[in-house]
Amino acid sequence: QAQFVESGGGLAQTGGSLRLSCRASGSTFSNNDMGWYRQAPGKQREFVARLSSSGYPYYDNSVKGRFTISRDNAEKMVYLQMNSLKVEDKGVYYCNTIPNTAFWGQGTQVTVSS
């Protein structure tokens, strides 16, 4: 079964940067599109960014131009570089394949202070 371990979250100030990492295991990583999602307190999990197996990125409008998704197929890693952070970017960030597997990780907490 697929497993995902997210890391790299923390506290940042508005306008700051964080780089999230996700280690995947148990699946054919290189053949899958990978995505980042986030869940703010009291809200449903939402899509943030996607990177196809062939390297094409797609972003939610709320993060376009500020976030960059990348991957290392050899290491089964996917990254999310987050720049120009806003308070509304706070939440727990998760990665998963797209389509999603049922096996969500613990996520990594991102807090942005104004």
Over the stretch 9-50, which tens digit does the pLDDT of each residue have? 999 999 999 999 999 987 668 889 999 999 999 999 999 999
The reported pLDDT for the residue numbered 49 is 98
- Here the tokens at position 23 are 């280690």
**79-111: per-residue pLDDT in tens?**
999 999 999 999 999 999 999 888 999 999 999
d(CA 99, CA 52): 11
Determine the average pLDDT of the residues in 46-70: 97
Please, which residues have CB within 8 angstroms of residue 87's CB and are 6 or more apart in sequence? 14, 112, 113, 114
| H/E element, 73 | none
Residue type, 66: R
Rg value, the chain, Cα: 13
d(CA 33, CA 20): 17
